[in-house]
């Protein structure tokens, strides 16, 4: 394993940029501004759960959602209760197991995501003004490989038995390895 203290300069520069980007994207004020522009009210973690549900065909079990989001099932259960009270998700019986329940995004939840996507893309377009599309595509490709590497590491070192089932690539899901080209999300 390479020594992190003697990382190549481009890697060190990337680390600094990612830390700054992470800070900017995860500030409460920035999140509040984006959801306000979208005309919605949701926590960041709730948005990721809704994104994961939006990409699941017909809903998911709580355990599957927890694995996809790399969190404990009890955390997802609390989120689902909060989102269900807002009519953004619904619980239905699992057709394969009468004792289990599936969670699915509702039309209201999907509409919330649509408004949020529009607001986020408007902010991104403004921030990317003057940047060539090919540079954006290259950035997406590099970041996807970076995310894939981190996810593989989490799966291998944290709780490997919890992450056996691959999930679709979404901001709220665990990415599968990319094949080629730029993937559209949302």
pLDDT digits (tens, 9 = 90+) for 97-142: 878 889 999 999 999 888 888 888 888 899 899 999 999 999 999 9
- For 64, the token pair is 């599957």
Q: Which residues neighbour 50 within 8 Å (Cβ) at sequence distance 6 or greater? A: 42, 83, 88, 89, 105, 109, 112, 113, 172
Q: Which of 97-101, 149-153, 168-172 has the lowest mean pLDDT?
A: 168-172
Tell me what pLDDT residue 144 has: 93
How confident is residue 53, by pLDDT bands cut at 50, 70 and 90? very high
Mean pLDDT of 73-94: 91
Report the half-sphere exposure of 26 (CA within 13 A, side-chain side). 8
**CA gap 96, 94 in Å, rounded:** 5
Pair 48, 171: CB distance under 8 Å:
yes
Backbone torsion region of residue 143, taken as left when φ is above 0, otherwise alpha when ψ lies between -120 and 50, otherwise beta: alpha
Of residues 39 and 125, more confidence is placed in: 125
Mean pLDDT of 56-60: 83
For 17-34, give one letter per residue: b (16+ CB within 10 A) or e: eeeeeeeeeeeeeeeeeb
């Amino acid at each position: 394993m390479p020594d992190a203290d003697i990382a190549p300069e481009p890697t060190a520069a990337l680390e600094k940029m990612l830390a700054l980007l992470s800070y900017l994207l995860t500030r409460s004020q920035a999140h509040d501004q984006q959801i306000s522009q979208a005309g919605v009210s949701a926590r960041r973690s709730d948005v990721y759960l809704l994104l994961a549900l939006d990409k699941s065909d017909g809903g998911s079990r709580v355990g599957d959602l927890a694995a996809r989001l790399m969190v404990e099932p009890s955390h997802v259960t609390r989120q689902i209760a909060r989102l269900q009270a807002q009519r953004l998700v619904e619980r239905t019986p699992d057709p394969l197991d009468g004792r289990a329940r599936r969670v699915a995004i509702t039309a209201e939840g999907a509409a919330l995501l649509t408004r949020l996507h529009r607001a986020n893309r408007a902010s991104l377009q403004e921030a990317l003004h003057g940047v060539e599309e090919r540079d954006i595509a290259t950035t997406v490709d590099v970041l996807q490989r970076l995310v894939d590497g981190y996810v593989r590491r989490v799966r291998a070192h944290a709780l490997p038995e919890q992450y056996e089932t691959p999930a679709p690539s979404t901001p709220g899901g665990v990415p599968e390895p990319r094949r080629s080209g730029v993937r559209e999300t949302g």
